[in-house]
Amino acid sequence: MADTQDITVLIPVKLHPHAQERINGSFKVLTCERPDASLLTEEERAQVRALAVSTVASYPIDAAYIDAFPNLEIISSFGVGYNHVDAVHAGKKGVVVTNTPDVLTEEVADTALGLLLNTVRELPKAEAWLREGKWKSVGDYPLTRGTLRGRKVGIFGLGRIGQAIARRLEAFGLPISYYNRRPVEGVNYTYYPSLVELAAAVDTLVSIAPGGASTDKAVNAEVLAALGSDGVFVNIGRGSTVDEQALAKALEEGTIMAAGLDVFADEPNVPESLLKLENASLLPHVGSGTIHTRQAMADLVADNLLAWFGKGSAITPTPETEHLNPKG
């Protein structure tokens, strides 16, 4: 087993403090304010055998950055999404990329259901009504047009989190359909071969799709029109999967009824066109945002590094780099 104290891990952008504490206690650590290879000497770059990174879209771990470290073996990323890392290039270079799936699945699914309820039943607005004294001065909060009763739900992205959301929605008595790149084995939900066809068949669309070129602005004007005037759209996946301009227009013109968003294309910048809409329920990317779950994610970042250098095998390699991970 390797003496990890002699192994250099670079943390090139702010990391969860629990992950940083564990990595500091086990490895030799270098830190930078941003992933810019020029901030390190050639000798320092040669020492780096691992990167520990966060999901920060404005600080991508791209091919050029990966190539700057000749002895790099592993990139351990905080978050289930990892489109900020060029995992395909890493895989070709012999560098394993890991993420933190599973440990946040149930938390994000819980948030998705809460956001859906907020969107259709206007619960934040109803609470504001009470706090502003309107219950006493005006009367009962107006009856909501939205309800989950009688709805049909479509899920865009039936991975681990998508299936956890589906299980919760089944308990609500709602029928489930989905669109994925390919049908998922072992589920009884109705599969549609395109996102437009799914949207046309349901009135509630929940997106948990990953980011990347293949899903960029996949939820567009055509999909929203297919969802219809009673439609509700919820995004708990990645902001890049939505054409935000088209969504704002659909909400403003009544093409769909309402939307609930926890993620945005250019976080933390939220388009003014969405902020001004009364039929948009907006959250600041809190899907996995509990102390319990974020600490579990942080532990997995550190545990992937320790497993790789201690046992020669990472715990949660991404599909693009799984071929580099020894079995056993």
Residues belonging to the active site: 238, 267, 285
How many CA atoms does the CB half-sphere of 140 hold within 13 Å? Answer: 3
Alpha-carbon span 71 to 157, nearest angstrom? 35
Residues sharing a CB contact under 8 Å with residue 74, sequence separation 6 or more, in sequence order? 49, 50, 51, 95, 96, 97, 98, 304, 305, 308, 314
Residue 303: helix, strand or coil by DSSP?
helix
DSSP code, position 190: E
Alpha-carbon span 129 to 14, nearest angstrom? 39
| Contact present, 185 and 162 (Cβ < 8 Å) | no
Q: Using the structure block, give the residue that is written with the tokens 């088209």.
A: 246
Structure tokens at 88: 């395909």
Tell me the one-letter amino acid at 115: L
Structure tokens at 142: 């107006």
Residue 320's alpha-carbon distances to 55, 156, 300, in angstroms, are: 17, 21, 19
Alpha-carbon span 212 to 83, nearest angstrom? 6
Cis peptide bond upstream of 268, omega within 30: yes
Q: Using the structure block, give the residue that is written with the tokens 């709805």.
A: 151
